[in-house]
């Protein structure tokens, strides 16, 4: 496995390795890898001749009061996981390498960034768009792999790929969870023991919501009230957002609509703080009524 620190080194390695017309899968990450990232690498390994992992904590997607400086980092562990999962190349640049000067180009995907994390973290997805587009240009992947824990990010990137004619497939991979249901996240290390225990309320509420959405006597507003009540039973939980939307458009649903009238693919998306730690989770529900 080769570790590349510069864009030129990465391009040189890829040019040599792709002479045979080999397919390439890209797994973009911010490092501090866990089993969720490992599952992306395994799928990329199974579907491509060459697998590239990027490790880069992107400052453009962090707000001024967010956790860029303290975001967890452990490159030695990351490289060990990458090697174990069969990555061929790891691109691990510095901020100065990725952004030699302050970028003057902005990349904004409208509409689907206006809700959920886009509303509570202004500019976040603009920064995601810039760094992901740079990685796509640098590696020219056939497939790029993203976990569905951040389903809004996956929708934004799919729209960007469509609108800008990137010649690649966005592969969305299932959320990987702990045995008790907590979605794996690099930020889970911030949780105290008590917060970690309470955080399972997210996955439990998402599972319960599927049943509530099948109760024809309830409206969407009724379901969302149940969702908020269930989350707030956890003493330290503070809701940032809890929304039910169409997916991937993230269009709103009339809160007065009966659940029996909903159809297509819906997403229940949650962002909840436990102390200073903000966790996100979601579940997709898909059905045809009739």
Mean pLDDT of 188-209: 97
96 is written with which tokens? 């100065």
Of the candidates 214, 8, 176, the residue with the CA atom closest to the CA atom of residue 91: 8
Q: How far apart are CA 139 and CA 10, in angstroms?
A: 8
What is the pLDDT, as a whole number, of residue 173? 97
Mean pLDDT of 1-26: 95
Could you report the per-residue pLDDT of 32-68, keeping only the tens digit for each? Answer: 999 999 999 999 999 999 999 999 999 999 988 888 9
Which residues of the chain does CATH 3.40.50.620 include?
2-173
Give, in order, the Cα–Cα distances in Å from 97 to each of 94, 102, 174.
Answer: 5, 12, 32
Confidence of residue 20 (pLDDT cuts 50, 70, 90): confident
What is the pLDDT, as a whole number, of residue 146? 98
Q: How many CA atoms lie within 13 A of 3 on its CB side?
A: 13
Q: Which CATH architecture has domain 186-284?
A: 2-Layer Sandwich (3.30)
What is the pLDDT, as a whole number, of residue 128? 96
What is the pLDDT, as a whole number, of residue 289? 61
Give all strands of the β-sheet with 264-274 in edge-to-edge order. 237-246, 264-274, 277-287
* Residue from 34, 37, 111, 124 carrying the catalytic annotation: 37
What is the pLDDT, as a whole number, of residue 290? 54
Share of the chain above pLDDT 70, in %: 99
* Eight-state DSSP code of residue 76: H
Mean pLDDT taken over the chain: 95
What is the pLDDT, as a whole number, of residue 287? 73
What is the pLDDT, as a whole number, of residue 52? 98
What is the reported pTM? 0.94
Q: Which CATH architecture has domain 2-173?
A: 3-Layer(aba) Sandwich (3.40)
Pairing outcome for strands 264-274 and 277-287: antiparallel
Could you report the per-residue pLDDT of 109-155, keeping only the tens digit for each? Answer: 999 999 999 998 999 999 999 999 999 999 999 999 999 999 999 99
Confidence of residue 73 (pLDDT cuts 50, 70, 90): very high
Pairing outcome for strands 237-246 and 264-274: antiparallel
Could you report the per-residue pLDDT of 240-276, keeping only the tens digit for each? Answer: 999 999 999 999 999 999 998 888 999 999 999 999 9
Strand partners, 270: 242, 281
Which residues of the chain does CATH 3.30.1300.10 include?
186-284
Mean pLDDT of 218-226: 97
Is the pLDDT at 208 greater than 90? The verdict is yes
111 counts as catalytic? no
């Amino acid at each position: 496995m080769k570790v590349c620190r510069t864009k030129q080194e990465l391009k040189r390695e890829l040019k040599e390795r792709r002479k045979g017309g080999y397919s390439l899968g890209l797994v973009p990450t911010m490092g501090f890898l866990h089993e969720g990232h490992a599952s992306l690498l395994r799928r990329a390994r199974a579907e491509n001749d060459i697998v590239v992992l990027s490790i880069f904590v992107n400052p453009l997607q962090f707000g001024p009061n967010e956790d860029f400086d303290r975001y967890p980092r452990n490159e030695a562990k990351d490289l060990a996981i990458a090697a174990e999962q069969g990555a061929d190349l790891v691109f691990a640049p510095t901020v100065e390498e990725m952004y030699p000067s302050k970028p003057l180009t902005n990349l904004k995907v409208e509409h689907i960034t206006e809700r959920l994390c886009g509303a509570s973290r202004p500019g976040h997805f603009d920064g995601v768009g810039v760094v992901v587009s740079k990685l796509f240009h640098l590696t020219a992947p056939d497939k790029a792999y993203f976990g569905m824990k951040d389903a809004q990010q996956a929708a934004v990137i799919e729209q960007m790929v469509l609108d800008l004619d990137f010649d690649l497939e966005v592969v969305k991979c299932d959320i990987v969870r702990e045995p008790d249901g907590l979605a794996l996240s690099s930020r889970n290390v911030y949780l105290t023991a008590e917060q970690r225990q309470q955080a399972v309320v997210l996955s439990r509420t998402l599972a319960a919501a599927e049943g509530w959405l099948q109760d024809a006597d309830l409206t969407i507003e009724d379901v969302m009230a149940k969702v908020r009540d269930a989350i707030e039973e956890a003493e330290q939980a503070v809701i940032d957002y809890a929304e039910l939307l169409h997916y991937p458009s993230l269009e709103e649903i009339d809160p007065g609509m009966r659940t029996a009238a909903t159809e297509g693919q819906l997403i229940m998306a949650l962002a909840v703080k436990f102390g200073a730690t903000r966790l996100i989770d979601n579940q997709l529900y898909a059905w045809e009524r009739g």
